[in-house]
Amino acid sequence: LWAAIDTAVQQAAAELGDDLSAWRREGTRVGFTPDLIPNDFRGTNRPTYQQVLEFAPEGAGQ
């Protein structure tokens, strides 16, 4: 897991520079089809159903 995170950070640093406070990117804008409503809004890439995992100590609740 940490190797994957390290690789992603290295790739982002190569693209965006070493200054983390400058890591900004224009968000995706989502509109309405077929343009009946002229407004758009900032979208996010996440599922509509969030799953929650809970980790308990070994042997707890068994």
10-61 pLDDT tens trace: 999 999 898 988 888 777 888 887 777 888 888 877 766 666 777 778 876 6
The pLDDT, as a whole number, for residue 26 is 78
Of 42, 6, 12, 11, nearest to 24 (Cα)?
12
The pLDDT, as a whole number, for residue 46 is 73
SS3 26: coil
Residues 6+ apart with CB under 8 A from 43: 27, 28, 29, 30
The span from the CA of 41 to the CA of 56, in Å, is 39
SS3 8: helix
